Amino acid sequence: MVVCVLVPRFSLLAAVEEVGEGAAILSSPVALGPLPGGVQAVGEASPAAEAFGVTAGMRMGEALARCPELRLLPTDPEAVRARWSGVLDRLERIGAAPESDRAGEAYFDADGLRGIHGGHLEGVLAATRRALGRRI
């Protein structure tokens, strides 16, 4: 059995924590801003921004036209990588061998972990939830 760990909007959540904002900011229209010198497009967007039609990859002008009160958070790919690496480390501590091609999404085989987590998949899932907790 393969277990998927999926953290939607991981990069946006990491940016919120980097700027010291609480999770409550996600109830307002926010999105990741573009990298300096990069394509002038927004990154991951909060549900409130998506309600205005703002989506990842949308050009800045269009995003701001759709949602003038859109707040842009700084994009820091290194911070995102470091935070996601911490998540993968926590999965490894329960015995998992996670594979991940992008921040916010990882997979691991649970079959070999059943024996050390109660003999069933539910034990592996419970250990995974405990390891990850509510923080990213």
- The string of DSSP letters for 88-118 reads HHHHHHTT---EEEETTEEEEE-GGGGGGTT
Q: Which residues form the domain of 96?
A: 2-6+77-132
Q: Do the domain assignments include residue 84?
A: yes
Q: Is residue 58 located within the same domain as residue 82?
A: no
How far apart are alpha carbons 31 and 60 in whole angstroms?
10
Domain harbouring 62, CATH code: 3.40.1170.60
pLDDT computed for residue 135 by the predictor: 64
Phi, psi for residue 98 in degrees, rounded to 5: -70, 145
Contact criterion met (CB below 8 Å) for 70 and 30: yes
Tens of pLDDT, residue by residue over 52-85, are: 999 999 999 999 999 999 999 999 999 999 999 9
Residue numbers of the chain with a pLDDT score lower than 70: 134-136
Same domain, 58 and 103: no
What does the alpha-carbon distance between residue 125 and residue 73 come to, in Å, rounded to a whole number? 33
Task: Write the single-letter amino acid at 90.
Answer: R
Split into its structural domains, the chain has a count of 2
Beta bridge mates, 31: 45, 72
Residue 92 inside a domain? The answer is: yes
Boundary of a domain, candidates 73, 88, 110: 73
Question: How far, CA to CA in Å, does 116 sit from each of 20, 107, 119, 124?
Answer: 37, 18, 7, 8
In this predicted structure, what is the pLDDT of residue 22?
A: 77
Separation of alpha carbons 98 and 41, rounded Å: 31
